[in-house]
Chain A
């Protein structure tokens, strides 16, 4: 899965809220633990969804 642009970066909002408590916003670095597994599963389900109109089931 390709990454898209950052849309919801909010350092100002984080700092505003921290200011209400007289503290700086704290920065943490994060690595995704399951990134490729999640992407794989979602990709697989999206592929299945794309095939939903093949072999249609008659419902009566």
Chain B
């Protein structure tokens, strides 16, 4: 594969002033927006050196050339360059061996395809992986480490793979799928031929340049054995309000798997077809106004309302194959009636989406907490929690976790007063099952947004279908200040009993971070 190929020619270029990225991208690559964007990402992170290598088409790039040639026999790949951006200043190939992964900002494979008879001669970003720009408010949970080579040395960069369409064998749908699936699977060698063959098996009239339908996207995910949850808002318009796309997209991002979002463009020149983009991160603004102003509630019927953690999010972090990599799109920018399709990828072995777990957990929080804590309880954090239960202003955040990771978390955690959990309790909790859990963290304003801490969590079984009933089928356990809660039994009257046991944690613990 060209990421790891031995180069046939190497150029090392200083990007210090007066080097102009804009001019360079124009002169060398016909100035396409996504290529300019790569240079901007590098500039914004103080790239000092650019390495440009000519590489042969191998792996997915070679496969693409064969696929294009079948449709356009006169196709010619004019050039394939591997471009990498570096923080240190260096001048010779001998210096490359001394570079470290931490000094790399990203790499890209830039490909120039020509079909003279069709008047086509253009560059595009075949693939690129750039690290998170390091902004304080940016979080990118859906990432993977990708290997690439420079000179004779192999490096690794962590990010979400970006890819651009070429209008020949791939459109936005195929590149969005390759971007997210390659990142999810940790397989940058996923080819467009594979995607197209999975989407339209045996269809001789299939034209990949026209993209894929939402149905074909789902087919590809199924055949790649990637669990997912999707809603087609064009088929079920009432869902736009009842279960807005932001819930699905955010859930996929928080689970570390990523999401796909399809929408129709507006404006006089907008085409009838939709556009789809991969979403892999989000911003988190602790100073956000909306959650304080009571405008970010999520309500379930007339009985439950809560503040989802995405209330502190301004933007999703996405790739747009037309515009470039690692861009922020405000969560309120896309009008709900323009969004047609949303997909969240689920972690392996998880059989229902985190958004469902959050709804059921909301019910558990509001039902359990008043029963668990009597008025005689003196703990001030319990009083705070009870206050926000009464006002229905609990903040909920849903993340996947394994039983072992949860036990490790408890074993390492300290509450605000530096209390640690009882060692014997930690040993007893080793019995915890199943392995794959949804953890719904509960917090209250300020403790959540400023301290990034929580007052407890509920664990739900993620390996088996969700039960919305209070029957012990999905509820594994809960933890709140000074107590654990376990399911006991369903009574004949239809109500259920739970058992509470003490915990040494008296106040708040850190939220789960990756």
Binding site for B on A (CB under 8 A): 1, 3-11, 13-18, 20-21, 23, 25-42, 44-45, 47-49, 51-60
Give chain B nearest CB distance to A47 CB in angstroms. Answer: 8
Q: Which residue of the partner chain, among B231, B467, B477, contacts A49 with CB atoms under 8 Å? A: B231
Q: Which residue of the partner chain, among B243, B274, B467, B497, contacts A30 with CB atoms under 8 Å? A: B497
A34: chain B residues at CB < 8 Å are 300-301, 303-304, 362-363, 366-367
Indicate whether B484 reaches chain A with its CB closer than 8 angstroms: yes
> Nearest residue in B to A7 (C-beta to C-beta)?
B473
A32: chain B residues at CB < 8 Å are 363-364, 367, 469-470
Q: Which residue of the partner chain, among A8, A33, A60, contacts B367 with CB atoms under 8 Å? A: A33
A26 to B495 alpha-carbon distance, docked (Å): 16
Given contacts A59-B262, A59-B275, 4 further A-B contacts (CB under 8 A): A7-B474, A20-B422, A28-B498, A35-B363
B262: chain A residues at CB < 8 Å are 57, 59
Binding site for A on B (CB under 8 A): 171-173, 176, 209-218, 229-232, 234-236, 239, 242-243, 262, 273-276, 300-304, 340-341, 355-356, 359-360, 362-364, 366-368, 371-372, 422, 424-425, 428-429, 431, 433, 461, 464-477, 484, 486-491, 495-503
Establish whether residues A38 and B502, one from each chain, have CB atoms under 8 Å apart when the complex forms. no
B499: chain A residues at CB < 8 Å are 10-11, 14-15, 25-28
Would A16 and B428 be within 8 Å (CB), given that A33-B303, A57-B262 are in contact?
Answer: yes
A18: chain B residues at CB < 8 Å are 501-502
Give chain B nearest CB distance to A14 CB in angstroms. Answer: 4
A34 to B466 alpha-carbon distance, docked (Å): 16
List 14 interface pairs A-B (beta carbons < 8 Å), by A numbering.
Answer: A3-B473, A13-B428, A14-B484, A17-B501, A17-B502, A27-B498, A28-B499, A32-B469, A35-B468, A41-B300, A52-B232, A56-B214, A56-B216, A59-B176
A13 to B157 alpha-carbon distance, docked (Å): 44
> Nearest residue in B to A40 (C-beta to C-beta)?
B301
A9 to B250 alpha-carbon distance, docked (Å): 32
Would A3 and B497 be within 8 Å (CB), given that A56-B214, A59-B274 are in contact?
Answer: no
A42 to B172 alpha-carbon distance, docked (Å): 31
Q: Which residue of the partner chain, among B234, B303, B488, B501, contacts A57 with CB atoms under 8 Å? A: B234
Establish whether residues B211 and A59, one from each chain, have CB atoms under 8 Å apart when the complex forms. yes
A8 to B393 alpha-carbon distance, docked (Å): 28
Establish whether residues A39 and B234, one from each chain, have CB atoms under 8 Å apart when the complex forms. no
Give chain B nearest CB distance to A21 CB in angstroms. Answer: 4
**Total of A-B residue pairs, C-beta within 8 Å:** 246
A40 to B497 alpha-carbon distance, docked (Å): 24
Establish whether residues B372 and A28, one from each chain, have CB atoms under 8 Å apart when the complex forms. yes
Would A53 and B363 be within 8 Å (CB), given that A26-B500, A42-B356, A60-B173 are in contact?
Answer: no
> Nearest residue in B to A17 (C-beta to C-beta)?
B501
Establish whether residues B429 and A17, one from each chain, have CB atoms under 8 Å apart when the complex forms. yes
Give chain A nearest CB distance to B432 CB in angstroms. Answer: 8
A44 to B306 alpha-carbon distance, docked (Å): 19
Would A14 and B500 be within 8 Å (CB), given that A4-B471, A6-B490, A32-B363 are in contact?
Answer: yes
A41 to B238 alpha-carbon distance, docked (Å): 12
A49 to B353 alpha-carbon distance, docked (Å): 11
Establish whether residues A30 and B368, one from each chain, have CB atoms under 8 Å apart when the complex forms. yes
Give chain A nearest CB distance to B24 CB in angstroms. Answer: 30
A8 to B209 alpha-carbon distance, docked (Å): 51
Establish whether residues B210 and A60, one from each chain, have CB atoms under 8 Å apart when the complex forms. yes
Establish whether residues A45 and B171, one from each chain, have CB atoms under 8 Å apart when the complex forms. no
Give chain B nearest CB distance to A58 CB in angstroms. Answer: 5
A16: chain B residues at CB < 8 Å are 428
Q: Which residue of the partner chain, among B211, B231, B502, contacts A23 with CB atoms under 8 Å? A: B502
Would A30 and B273 be within 8 Å (CB), given that A1-B468, A11-B499, A49-B230 are in contact?
Answer: no
A23: chain B residues at CB < 8 Å are 501-502
Establish whether residues A8 and B461, one from each chain, have CB atoms under 8 Å apart when the complex forms. yes
Q: Which 10 A-B pairs have the closest CB atoms?
A: A37-B301, A60-B211, A14-B499, A17-B501, A34-B303, A56-B213, A56-B215, A6-B472, A48-B236, A34-B304
Establish whether residues B366 and A48, one from each chain, have CB atoms under 8 Å apart when the complex forms. no
Most buried by B among A5, A6, A47, A58: A58
Establish whether residues A51 and B236, one from each chain, have CB atoms under 8 Å apart when the complex forms. yes
Would A38 and B359 be within 8 Å (CB), given that A4-B471, A9-B472, A59-B173 are in contact?
Answer: yes
Would A48 and B243 be within 8 Å (CB), given that A5-B473, A16-B428, A29-B491 are in contact?
Answer: yes
A40 to B171 alpha-carbon distance, docked (Å): 38
Establish whether residues A37 and B304, one from each chain, have CB atoms under 8 Å apart when the complex forms. yes
A54 to B230 alpha-carbon distance, docked (Å): 12
A27 to B359 alpha-carbon distance, docked (Å): 25
Establish whether residues A52 and B360, one from each chain, have CB atoms under 8 Å apart when the complex forms. no
A33 to B302 alpha-carbon distance, docked (Å): 10
Would A3 and B502 be within 8 Å (CB), given that A37-B303, A59-B212 are in contact?
Answer: no
Most buried by A among B229, B363, B489: B363
Establish whether residues A20 and B359, one from each chain, have CB atoms under 8 Å apart when the complex forms. no
Give chain B nearest CB distance to A6 CB in angstroms. Answer: 4
A49: chain B residues at CB < 8 Å are 229-231
B359: chain A residues at CB < 8 Å are 38, 41-42
Would A58 and B210 be within 8 Å (CB), given that A1-B467, A52-B235 are in contact?
Answer: yes
